[in-house]
Amino acid sequence: MKLLRHLPNALTCGNLLCGCVGIVFTLHYSTGMAIWFVMLACVFDFFDGFAARMLKVTSPIGKELDSLADMVSFGALPAVTMFQMIDVISANNFIAYSSFSLAVFSALRLAKFNIDENQKDSFTGVPTPANALLSTSLVYLKEPWDMLISQDYFLVIIVAVSSFLLVSPWELFALKFKNFTWSDNKLRFTFLGLSVLLLAFWQIGALPFVILLYVLLSLLTRWVKI
């Protein structure tokens, strides 16, 4: 049983390892590999918290370790991926370095999250895993959207918007179900249903639109009650 107490931190280290290996694969093999490591990191990120709650073994070191792992997998890895994408197509030798604002603003997002006690049932700003999924899935965009990622200015705009969304003051809903009734979860079920349809049509290439849908639905609820 004593070994089980270390399971959540072990899973968090799995998250961190995904980020490290993902960076290596992105730099030496293909930017298309990054999304798979981000998705695997998301799995570890989900189950480390789940295991901690099930085993009732939360600790300050676990919280800090989780943020450090997220910084690598959902901050550094997307930044490196965007750097590679921009660097390959841009004639400007310096413009690609703008991508590292993703790492900087991810660090700010995680630091703010750690000291904010209000982000339980909702998030302030886009969570780093969602932002990482957006950045690393761009290479899988389908026609006619795929032509956009061949434009360096478009990718720089994506970096700028994503960086802002990480630390924006906007409140975004969390996919946490206290029950599974339609009346209490209309927004969540609507989002999941539309996301499934997008993924069925465009597979991984739908992820940027899924994240955009998440932001738009969250903002919509500020004016229209869903």
Q: What is the pLDDT of residues 16-27, one digit of tens each?
A: 999 999 999 999
Query: If you average pLDDT over residues 154-164, what whole number do you get?
Result: 96
Three-state SS for 77?
helix
Q: What is the pLDDT of residues 73-100, one digit of tens each?
A: 999 999 999 999 999 999 888 999 999 9
Is there a domain that residue 20 lies in? yes
Give the domain CATH number at 130: 1.20.120
Average pLDDT for the chain = 90
- Find the range with the poorest average confidence among 6-15, 54-63, 81-90, 130-139: 54-63
Is there a domain that residue 19 lies in? yes
Residues 6+ apart with CB under 8 A from 32: 139, 140
Query: If you average pLDDT over residues 204-214, what whole number do you get?
Result: 95
Is there a domain that residue 98 lies in? yes
Give me the domain span that covers residue 89.
3-220
The number of domains in the chain is 1
- Cis link prior to 129 (omega < 30° from 0)? no
Q: Is the pLDDT of residue 52 over 90?
A: no
- pLDDT of res. 181: 78
Q: pLDDT band for 225, please (50, 70, 90 cuts).
A: low
Q: pLDDT band for 164, please (50, 70, 90 cuts).
A: very high
- Among 58, 76, 78, which Cα is nearest to 68's? 76
Is there a domain that residue 167 lies in? yes
Three-state SS for 151?
coil
- pLDDT of res. 28: 94
Residue 122 belongs to what H/E stretch? Answer: strand 122-124
Three-state SS for 171?
strand
Is there a domain that residue 225 lies in? no
d(CA 83, CA 90): 10
Q: Is the pLDDT of residue 223 over 70?
A: no
Is there a domain that residue 85 lies in? yes
- 66 burial via Cβ count (<10 Å: 0-12, 13-18, 19+): buried
d(CA 14, CA 164): 28
- pLDDT of res. 134: 96
Q: How many helices (H) and strands (E) does the chain have?
A: 9, 2
Q: pTM score > 0.85 for this model?
A: yes
Q: What is the pLDDT of residues 119-134, one digit of tens each?
A: 666 788 999 999 999 9
- pLDDT of res. 1: 56
- pLDDT of res. 84: 96
Look at 90 and 182; give whichever has higher pLDDT.
Answer: 90
Is there a domain that residue 226 lies in? no
- Among 36, 39, 45, which Cα is nearest to 16's? 45
